[in-house]
Structure 1
Amino acid sequence: MQPPFRIRRLTPDEARAAAPALGEVLLDCVAGGASVSFMADLTLDEASAFWRGEAEADDGRAILVAEDAEGIFGVVQLIPVWPPNQPHRADVSKMLVHRHGRRLGAARALMTVLEDEARAMGRWLLVLDTVTGGAAEQLYASLGWTRAGVVEDFALMPDGALCATTFFFKRLAALGDTAWA
């Protein structure tokens, strides 16, 4: 059965044009209590400006979205890291799904397509962090990500409360399958 949404990678021009819709997703997630770098006083203008900046990044990142007939309701980024000694690694950032689009499998689908994008980039080690004890932590564990550790009091929730952060990694290739092994 086909899901009621599709996942696709935005071009930089599409990402710039989608900044208001992406801003709505970010704003909704923060309003719902997600600790994703922003505080409760985030405005739609600020959230949209953040996404315009991400669209302008010239680092080869992939911005993937989940969209349905109503428009974009989910997003995740895959960001190749810059250090010359880490050409095999990428960071996962801003995995967000609007509250009205949750429980449809969009987060799982976004992460699956993200892994395909990473392989296409030649990136086989992925790293991310998430609030300890949250639904996203359970999602990543169910997708085969490995917990690397927890840092207490790492970030603030939108209301200002401190929260712990769990770091995860996922190896997409066996060591012998890479040029760096």
Structure 2
Amino acid sequence: MHPATVTIEALTAERIRAAEGELAALLQDAVHDGASVGFLPPLAAADATHWWRGAAEESERGARTVWGAHGGDERVLGVVSLVRAGSANQRHRGDISKLLVHTSARGRGLGRRLLATAEAAAADSGLRLLVLDTETGSAAEGLYRSAGWTRAGVIPGYAQGPDGRLLATTYYYKALG
């Protein structure tokens, strides 16, 4: 996959549903490779599919936007979500969620492009603040720092790792223009 041959586009709820098997496989790939994205390995296909069905429902309600990256063969190589805050006093912000890049497509800047796409769309929609969390010490932290995100703090024991250990998470934020 050459980066120039990858297209990133917002996925409608219908497109998410149509690609739920492929999206479930992407989520399984990330979890099985150690990504701390709310699941523990082994992640069953049915559980991954169920999560994407919920994401499609959130997309339909306007609470979540999902962008997918695909190559010339139309295979989904990565995704990122923007989840809008639901509280009346927080409608100026959103959360970046489920930034996933298939293991076969990593190391080519796709995660950075997906993140930039979500950030630009958030700014264009009037959001002024984005937040996210990631496992402390993960490779993702380097991406977020180099993309201009500010570390807000660490919460110890936030999520359980595959071996049962409790892992810390680091929260980041980014103010938008």
| 1:15-164 matched pairs, under 5 angstroms | 15-57=16-58, 58-70=61-73, 71-164=75-168
| 1:1-20 matched pairs, under 5 angstroms | 3-20=4-21
Q: Percent identity?
A: 44
Q: How many residues matched?
A: 173
Find the residue that maps to 2:88 and give its secondary structure. Answer: coil
For normalisation by structure 2, the TM-score amounts to 0.93
Whole-angstrom CA distance in 2 between matches of 1:43 and 1:159: 17
Structure 1 outlier segments of 4+, above 6 Å: none
How far did 1:167 drift?
0.1
Residue segments in structure 1 that go unaligned for 5+ positions in a row = 174-181
For normalisation by structure 1, the TM-score amounts to 0.91
Conserved 8 A contact 1:34-1:157 = no
Whole-angstrom CA distance in 2 between matches of 1:8 and 1:160: 37
Aligned-residue RMSD, C-alpha:
1.4
Alpha-carbon distance change, 92 to 2 in structure 1, aligned in 2, over 3 angstroms: closer
Which one has a larger percent helix, Structure 1 or Structure 2?
A: 2
Conserved 8 A contact 2:26-2:101 = yes
Conserved 8 A contact 1:92-1:128 = yes
Whole-angstrom CA distance in 2 between matches of 1:158 and 1:67: 29
How far did 1:104 drift?
1.4
